[in-house]
Amino acid sequence: MDHSRKLHVQTWGCQMNVHDSARMADALAPAGFGAAATAEEADLVILNTCHIREKAAEKLFSELGRLRRVQQARAAAGGRLILAVAGCVAQAEGEALLARAPFVDIVVGPQTYHRLPALLARAEASPGVPVLDTEFPAEDKFAHLPPPVAGAARVTAFLTIQEGCDKFCAFCVVPYTRGAESSRPAAAILEEARRLVAEGAREITLLGQNVNAWHGAGTDGRAWSLARLLEALAALPGLARLRYTTSHPRELTDDLIAAHRDIPALMPFLHLPVQSGSDRVLKAMNRGHDAAFYRGRIAALRAACPGIALSSDFIVGHPGETEADFAATLALVREIGFAQAFSFKYSPRPGTPAADAPEQVPEAEKERRLAELQALLRGQQAAFNQALVGRRVPVLVTGPGRHPGQLAARSPWLQPVHFPAPAALIGTETWVEITAAHPNSLAARIEERHAA
């Protein structure tokens, strides 16, 4: 393939964005774009942005300031650096972004990046006239994207099956930036999974903003649920492991819980954000369930799959959150016990109902609550990792480790695992004994009978 031009992509935000960045590179490969390690070496820079919290959005503008100077230096040398802003800030701020940064050449939303080659052609033909496309088009983006560049697949791969969100939590921008919920048909998903496996993927993580809300046309003409889709994926030869993220508690249906019991390929780890342990706050957040519902779903999940480990997202300092509400969150965390978690200070987002709510929590109070919650969660994560020391664990070897002679692998519970072993094991599942626990990873040794 002709790689006469260079593309540099910078990504912020969730796994969906990480995956979208790879697909944007795929979309531009037929136009002759190969990868550049830095903006300085690139002809086109794409900033794939996140709007979820204020800090995430502000990073874009500081980076744009830097890139403007690169762009000016290039112009002075008689060349051109095209700057594109993609992702959720592009979608949410479109015109305002161009007013603030008029040197940006292309603004493209998460639902229209399959049109990048055409947008680029327009930008090239009209220097100084920015091109903006933040539509929610009727056509299916995935049907218009070229297949991923061969060989790009890794032992662990992402596969988008669902996009958008109809839940409208009071604090969240995603329904505005990603649009309405939509599910890809099972046939397209299975075809993409087969191709990923053929290229070497052994583990696939299904992606969606509300992945367990997936419901699509099945290959038998019936409507399938996520549980049914997982069953079909698990039957693909060569595919050893399956995961899905991010889930909503309300969509954790009984058949999906049963799938965790019945499908051995489905890994015993679930990221199930609860946000708060207080019923008052959950109501204000418009989450559509209370704390008892969450506890009940977790109990059912643990009954179906006793080894399952849990992860969650939390927001502290949501408007109206009192000390008693925060204590309810701590109590829920202590009771359930999480193997891992993400927690954030509430960040008011323009256009969302919570941003205009009275009773905003002072910043210092948010800081204090976050520190307290994170200390508790860190302790739980450390205890979870520590409890694995001395145990035999089946890991999926993903690639070389950081040190010579060492391999990197992934545990069933998503922890990175490192151990000395021959590179021939890459891409296989193997049993190891965990020898030490670190805050975010595990060390192991390979079992003798497998080492030979």
Min dist CB 235 to ligand F3S, Å, is 30
User: What end-to-end distance do the CA atoms of the chain give, in Å?
Assistant: 40
Roughly what angle, to the nearest 10 degrees, separates helices 116-125 and 15-28? 60
Residue by residue, what is the 3-state secondary structure of 65-103?
HHHHHHHHHHHHCCCCCEEEEEHHHHHHHHHHHHHHCCC
Residue 346, interface with ligand SAH (CB under 6 A)? Answer: yes
* Strand pairing report for 203-207 and 156-160: parallel
5: three-class secondary structure by DSSP: strand
Selected binder of ligand SF4 within 28, 172, 291, 417 (CB under 6 A): 172
Torsions phi, psi of 449, nearest 5? -70, -20
By CB under 6 A, is residue 91 in contact with ligand SF4? no
Which residues, other chains included, contact 235 with Cβ-Cβ below 8 Å and sequence gap of 6+? none
Q: Closer to ligand SF4 at the Cβ: 284 or 434?
A: 284
Asked whether 106 and 84 are in contact (CB, 8 A), the reply is yes
Cα dihedral sign, 156-158-159-162: positive
User: CB of residue 365 vs ligand SAH: minimum separation in angstroms?
Assistant: 15
Nearest-CB residue for ligand F3S: 13
| Residue 315 interaction partner, one of ligand SF4, ligand F3S, ligand SAH, none, beta carbon < 5-8 Å per kind | ligand SAH
Q: Find residue 92's DSSP bridge partners.
A: none
Amino acid at site 178: R
Q: Is 171 in the site for ligand SAH (CB under 6 A)?
A: yes
Does 409 sit near ligand SAH (CB under 6 A)? no
226 binds ligand SAH (CB under 6 A): no
Q: Considering the complex, what minimum distance in angstroms separates the CB of residue 168 from ligand SAH? A: 11
**Does residue 347 belong to the site contacting ligand SAH (CB under 6 A)?**
yes
SS3 428: coil
Stretch that binds ligand SAH, among 43-51, 129-137, 342-350, 412-420 (CB under 6 A): 342-350
Does position 294 interact with ligand SAH (CB under 6 A)? The reply is: no
Q: Which does 16 bind (CB under 5 to 8 A by kind): ligand SAH, ligand F3S, ligand SF4, none?
A: ligand F3S
Shortest reach from residue 163's CB to ligand SAH, in Å = 11
Name which of ligand SF4, ligand SAH, ligand F3S, none residue 50 binds, using a CB cut-off of 5 to 8 Å depending on partner kind.
ligand F3S
Only one of the segments 152-160, 161-169, 228-236, 402-410 lies at the binding site for ligand SF4 (rule: CB under 6 A); that segment is 161-169
Which residues sit at the interface with ligand F3S, rule CB under 6 A? 13-14, 16-17, 50-52, 87-88, 173-174, 177-178, 209
Q: Residues in contact with ligand SF4, total (CB under 6 A)? A: 10
Q: Residue for token digits 């954030």?
A: 344
Residue 106, contacted partner among ligand F3S, ligand SAH, ligand SF4, none, CB below 5-8 A by kind: none
- Is residue 54 within 8 A of residue 89, CB to CB? The reply is no
| Nearest residue (CB) to ligand SAH, 315 versus 408 | 315
Using alpha carbons, list the distances in angstroms from residue 222 to 187, 255, 263: 12, 16, 21
Contact set for ligand SF4, span 201-230 (CB under 6 A): 209-210
Regarding 29 and contact with ligand SF4 (CB under 6 A), the answer is no
Reading the block at residue 35, the tokens are: 């990868």
Spell out, one character per residue from 249 to 288, where the chain touches ligand SAH: x when CB under 6 A holds, - when not. Answer: ------------------------x-x-------------
Longest distance between any two alpha carbons in the chain, whole Å = 66
Nearest-approach distance from CB 52 to ligand SAH, in angstroms? 5
Taking the complex as a whole, the smallest distance from the CB of residue 218 to ligand SF4 amounts, in Å, to: 25
Give dist(CA 187, CA 49) in Å, integer. 30
Q: How far is CA 328 from CA 6, 263, 281, 301, 315, in A?
A: 52, 34, 10, 22, 13
Instruction: Strands of 52-208 (E only): list them.
Output: 82-86, 106-108, 131-133, 156-160, 162-163, 182-183, 203-207
Q: How far is the CB of 74 from ligand SAH (least distance, A)?
A: 36
Chain residues that interact with ligand SAH, rule: CB under 6 A: 52-53, 171-172, 174, 209-210, 246, 248, 273, 275, 313, 315, 344, 346-347, 349
**Interacting residues toward ligand SF4 by CB under 6 A:** 165, 167-169, 172, 174-175, 209-210, 248
